[in-house]
Amino acid sequence: MKKILIENVKKGDVLAKDIISGNNLTALKKGVTLDENIIKRIKRLTLINSGFEGNYIFIEENSAGNEKNIEKELSLLAKRFEDIDGDGFMRGIKEIIKSAILKNYGRN
Amino acid sequence: MNIQNKPKRRGDILYELVSSIKRIKDIPTLPKILSKISEEMGNDDYSIKDIGELMSLDISFSSRILRMVNSPFYGFPQRIYSIKHAIVLLGANVLKSIVISTSVFTIMKEAMEGLWEHSLFCAFTAKYIAAMLLNGSDKKGNKMSKENGIADADMMFSAGLMHDIGKVITAIAFRDDFKKIMIIAEEDKRPLTDIEHDILNISHDQLGYMLAKEWNLPSSIYLPIKYHHNVNLASEFKTETAILNLSDFLTRAMGIGYSGNTYIEKINTDTVNILNIDLNFIKNIVEEVYPFKNELSIFD
């Protein structure tokens, strides 16, 4: 589980804790995979509970949704670089960007 | 409108292109208030107070500026509440380019999906690179300074925001040709500027330069825009041009936004030589700027 800024949640992230609204009702259940609408909803709501601290929420690390997103981003990266993969300097840049993508998903 | 295959001299074609651009209603014209500000700035004795007052007259105008300067992409440590404060911190020319870019924000979004994100991220990266070169050193440990030609970070942000404004013009004025250019670029994996020249006889970098000049932006912004795909041709503002070229390249390499090409080309060797950079320098930039892609949604 990791705590991230609400502004930084992405499609495919999976909630690691319930989100309870101000009137003490469960707004979103643990395990929900976030899509654009849910993210908008989270951003709109003013919530207080254990799953929501200030501007942060808790999401699962290495969730299945993330796996798909990582796979997609890495495949797009490979496509962007496919014509210049023979160049050492360009391969170096590709590796740097690959590391940044993985780090963005909490991988090192 | 298709100007392809017309047997005219290049000068005539350019004149016709610029004239037709000026006739199109949807082309982003400078807000009237900005023309007044430009006039005011043309006087040697202009005051920040007067410009601030002019800018504050238009609420949507002021809120657009404040939203941008308070965004994570500008990165001021404290919140900026007033236009006057923003002018003092940024300078009127930088504010002007922010206003122009945010004015064409909607048109940009409609013209080409992803172009706004590409432009904003390129601006952010350019500013970061300029600051890094100014505060740090190149790979050989040579200290860089404004005196030996390093760029102003805020001015680089402006150049980055505006560098592809020529694409907006093409997308609006020559809608069918623009679609054709996009398709050919994707299928043939050729540089966009080459295809633009084949079809329109002019490319977005030149159009952007003409527009930025028409809008009275300084040469430190319009010349790097003109040469951002031909760094070797820049005789002035070489460092700025190289920074803009590198920022554009890295933004595309990182896959942030869309500017018309899915495939990237080899890094420009003139840029590498002018900035005297290596992979380690690029690693530092990418590691710092990439996480900010998550912040782009604040402008949705």
CATH number reported for the structural domain that contains residue A27 in this entry: 3.90.105.10
Contacts of residue A101 in chain B, CB cutoff 8 Å? 290
Residue A48, pLDDT > 60, answer: no
| Domain count of the fold of chain A | 2
B256 vs B82, more confident: B256
* Domain span holding position A71: 64-104
Report which secondary-structure segment, H or E, holds B156. Answer: helix B153-162
A9, A96, A102: which to substitute to probe chain B, counting the most B Cβ within 10 Å?
Answer: A96
Mind listing the pLDDT tens digit for each residue in B230-250?
999 999 999 999 999 999 999
Closest CA to B249 of B235, B234, B221, B270: B270
Mind listing the pLDDT tens digit for each residue in B25-47?
545 555 566 667 666 766 666 67
Are A84 and A36 contained in the same domain? no
Q: Which amino acid makes up residue B180?
A: K
Question: What's the confidence (pLDDT) of residue A99?
Answer: 96
Percentage of chain B modeled with pLDDT above 70: 74
Residue B226, pLDDT > 80, answer: yes
Residue B125, pLDDT > 80, answer: yes
Is B262 in CB contact (< 8 Å) with chain A? yes
Between chain A and chain B, the number of residue pairs with CB atoms below 8 A apart is: 63
Where do the structural domains in chain B lie, given as residue ranges? 29-98, 104-299
> Which one of A22, A43, A59 terminates a domain?
A59
Question: What's the confidence (pLDDT) of residue A47?
Answer: 46
d(CA B124, CA A69): 24
CB contact under 8 A, A79 and B189: no
For residue A92, give the chain B residue with the closest CA: B279
Residue B2, pLDDT > 50, answer: no
Are A51 and A69 contained in the same domain? no
Q: A2 has which bridge partners? A: A59
**Of B37-41, B74-78, B214-218, B290-294, the least confident:** B37-41
Q: Under a CB-based contact definition with an 8 Å cutoff, are residues A103 and B292 in contact?
A: no
d(CA B40, CA B47): 8
Kindly list the distances between the CA atom of residue B194 and the CA atoms of A49, B169, B191, B198, in Å, as whole numbers in the listed order: 57, 17, 6, 6
CB contact under 8 A, B286 and A103: no
Residue B203: band (very low, low, confident or very high) from pLDDT cuts 50, 70, 90: very high
**Of A32-41, A73-82, B50-59, B258-267, the least confident:** B50-59
Question: What's the confidence (pLDDT) of residue A31?
Answer: 74
Residue A35: band (very low, low, confident or very high) from pLDDT cuts 50, 70, 90: confident
Residue B189: band (very low, low, confident or very high) from pLDDT cuts 50, 70, 90: confident
- Taking the domain B104-299, which CATH number applies? 1.10.3210.10
Residue A81: band (very low, low, confident or very high) from pLDDT cuts 50, 70, 90: very high
For residue A72, give the chain B residue with the closest CA: B255
Question: What's the confidence (pLDDT) of residue B231?
Answer: 97
Are A9 and A43 contained in the same domain? yes
B246 vs B21, more confident: B246
Residue B7: band (very low, low, confident or very high) from pLDDT cuts 50, 70, 90: very low
Closest CA to B167 of B202, B138, B143: B202
Distance of CA B186 to the CA centre of its chain: 23
Are A53 and A70 contained in the same domain? no
Question: What's the confidence (pLDDT) of residue B1?
Answer: 44
Is B290 in CB contact (< 8 Å) with chain A? yes
- This model of the complex carries an ipTM of 0.81
Are A76 and A51 contained in the same domain? no
Are A17 and A45 contained in the same domain? yes
User: Mean pLDDT across the stretch A48-68?
Assistant: 66
Question: What's the confidence (pLDDT) of residue B219?
Answer: 93
Are A37 and A50 contained in the same domain? yes
Are A47 and A74 contained in the same domain? no
Residue B106: band (very low, low, confident or very high) from pLDDT cuts 50, 70, 90: low
Are A86 and A48 contained in the same domain? no
Q: Which amino acid makes up residue A38?
A: I
Are A50 and A78 contained in the same domain? no
**Of A66-70, B25-29, B181-185, B277-281, the least confident:** B25-29
A22 vs B10, more confident: A22
Report which secondary-structure segment, H or E, holds A5. Answer: strand A2-5
Mind listing the pLDDT tens digit for each residue in B250-278?
999 999 999 988 889 999 999 999 999 99
B287, B290, B298: which to substitute to probe chain A, counting the most A Cβ within 10 Å?
Answer: B290
For residue B278, give the chain A residue with the closest CA: A89
Give the one of A84, A90, A97 whose C-beta lies nearest to B286's C-beta: A97
| Residue B37 in tokens | 């500000």
For residue A84, give the chain B residue with the closest CA: B266
